[in-house]
Structure 1
């Protein structure tokens, strides 16, 4: 029987619209923001595009401070809670002095700063690690790094609901077996927790050989660490299907990456070059913030879930500058 042609089921194109891109390239009115973010370790970028919109966002941890987007026409968007801290910045975002004020007030607000970490206790939130690692492997790359991060909150769209249901049904069957036959925790609460993760991959990496890397960051949350092999197993299955049936994937990745390199959001280290094609191989990584306090039970459950859902997962922690190192407890 002939293979079903489902090429049109998938879509992925994160290259920014020229209107947004031109505002951030050299000579653009917001070009200064790029160097500003680079000079402030607590900040990071996100760029993207979908069928109807393109955007450039600045984050502190998981707090989206501002989003410059084009949906019909260029505009800025923000949450009222950040506007109230420093209205002057949002009324004139061309001046860095106002952004300094906003960041100072954000750090001083215990409720809003929790998305990055607690300044007084030193407790780090998932957003802290997200920024640290994203910066380290985008514009702070080193020649001996064997990969770069090319996308953040990576999304593969599936147009065809039949295809989507087929993929989801397969992993749901495995999930049901894991929960009912292996661990027997509260099926309802854990199923709900996992179901909400079917959407965005924290990072998409690319090796110099053209391998794609699914990277999930779990901070220090034991519940999220335990369920991460289930989540990553889903994404690995989905991306495998995409590689088989979506010939435009590399073209769209290359277009996005070229744009990021030209803006200085991604640095290609000396002696390295962007691969000319994808290898067809997929790696799956889970990153935990600090593993020292993980209990033996959580580690055991993670390892068993890994064996069932995604045996080839590699698990990492990160050191102070965001450099990844292999986990010693979650082997």
Structure 2
């Protein structure tokens, strides 16, 4: 009995020392500094992308923003210019569609020209859109569009960026912007969540593979953001989805951008924005890197207890919506009886 107690005590002590060592290492490890680095931001004309571009400018980075809408791009560039720290900083905007490899290559080549052809040091991939709706209302075209807007809009830029960085020997960063809906999903997000889950799978793969090149990968998983895009998606969002989200506090793009940049600076792989994000992250971590060995087990324990209860409440609300949904389907001709 005494031997077992001694063994348990030693194991506990070693575990505590290991945790302290990890915390010490993370505390004093060198942080990434965007100052003087060239950072390219896709989806940079609005939302988190625009806010990130401003935060990067404040940190002294050269910033290139890429999006489709030239008018929004110009307004975003003006905001970035206001955040200028030094006369040497270079700010540019480029209108390209990045949901294809060719479009992404063209965007990167254009952004590289002011730097003598040298590709950016860091890529913040924020392009994407959400168009919620019931799965029964979708078509082959809308499902493909959903993947283009959520997955390919970032995957193809990552592909083009990888080839450019590896060719030039640049040991930079690739930052994906997924969503908390890449950890779980619910009614209404059949065209959105699959692509966000896919981004996590891609980031998990590349986080391992890019060790071959000295390129670091990060995966941001923000929750609700109060943006114009969020207002637009709410117009056509199913009533049951709106009801389930009515208690969601959400966050501003500026707050989310600040958390993402802080996570990237500190070398975090999975970057979550708030407490509930940490709970979902820790509860579905798998073999991913932990953010804190001292806290993740607490978040995981909370999730183990609370998330099944929360999910049960969600399922109860969905079942309670059946009668109204039947009438909705009948009005739209989905029912023959």
The normalised TM-score by structure 1 is: 0.28
Which structure exhibits the higher relative contact order, with contacts defined as CA atoms closer than 8 Å and separated by 6 or more residues? Answer: 1
Which structure has greater helix proportion? 2
Which structure has greater strand proportion? 1
The normalised TM-score by structure 2 is: 0.27
